[in-house]
Amino acid sequence: MINKQPGHHSLSDIIEPVCGTEGFPESHVFAEGIEVLPASDAEMCCRIHFSVPYITRDSGPLHLHIIEPKQYTDEPETYPLVLYVQGSAWLEQDTGSQVAQLAWFARRGFVIAVVEYRPSTVAPFPAQVIDTKAAVRFMVQHACDYHADPQQLFLWGDSSGAHTALMAAFSQQDEALDECHPAQLPAQVRGVIDYYGPTDISKMSNEPSVLDHTAADSPEGLLIGGVRPADHPALVRPTVPMNYIVKSHDIPPVLIFHGSQDRIVPFGQSVLLYEALKQNDKEVSCYQLKGADHGGEAFWQSHILNIVETFVRRCL
């Protein structure tokens, strides 16, 4: 991203204010053999603002990659706002790993901000949730800069990022999981999209996995400060999204996708969340992708994104 500084000019500063070709002459220069095709604007384009700082911690600044539909009209539209939390086993994130796929989705008419949070080796739970809520506040405050509608807010994440997204949505008014008082997000989360997220770190070994989820230096152990989860139930308890589900509390609708052969986060983790939401009369839909592993192309096919878009539009 080229940050807009006073006195700084780029090509977009010159071109973007010129919207439309009405009144501008069409070229009559031509040559034999040139083919003519009609211009079409049926499919939307996007632009990406890379590494936008949203807050500075003791460990340094945290950033967002912001994808927005390109504006070509004199009266720019606003679009629903989606914050995407990248999975990383709560360690350092590769926040660019899903940007290409998310840009496909943004072309359907969404502003998407990919969230960087502090890794557990720098700051254990609930730092990741606190950072995500700070990112929400930044995007709400700067919504007009990116043509986002802050009243149409969604959280989406994969793996540990899905866990963080769920926690941020389910604990919107929990002061223990926020740095603002009173703890409340500036806009209501309309829905959460959960791609194969862990939900109870004390039960990750209840099904086969290629990882050790029980050790102090496991992703789950590092999340709670580098201790064995089984030995510290009091530290595990606040990390479990299901513990925030109460019939009398507002919980946004949840859409879950999870592979049946996930080698990292067992499918049963999504079953735990699905059953808890159902038992408390909350809105939830869950899709098992038969034969799918932990992420990959299966989760970014058009028919899957169609389900995601239908969910988002319905929640609006």
Report percent pLDDT > 90 for the chain. 84
Query: Contact, 196 vs 262, CB < 8 A?
Result: yes
Residue 19: pLDDT band by 50, 70, 90 thresholds?
A: low
Query: For residue 134, what are the contacts with CB-CB under 8 A and spacing of at least 6?
Result: 54, 55, 62, 179
User: What pLDDT is recorded for position 1?
Assistant: 41
Query: Contact, 291 vs 259, CB < 8 A?
Result: yes
Q: Is the pLDDT of residue 9 over 70?
A: no
Domain ranges of the chain: 43-315
pLDDT tens per residue across span 121-154: 999 999 999 999 999 999 999 999 999 999 999 9
The mean pLDDT of the chain is 93
| Spatial separation of the C-alpha atoms in residues 136 and 82, rounded to whole Å | 9
pLDDT tens per residue across span 45-82: 999 999 999 999 999 999 999 999 987 766 789 999 99
- DSSP E strands: which ranges in the chain? 46-57, 60-69, 79-85, 111-115, 148-158, 189-195, 254-259, 284-289
Q: Is the pLDDT of residue 2 over 50?
A: no
Residue 15: pLDDT band by 50, 70, 90 thresholds?
A: low
Topology at the third CATH level for domain 43-315: Rossmann fold (3.40.50)
Q: Is the pLDDT of residue 4 over 50?
A: no
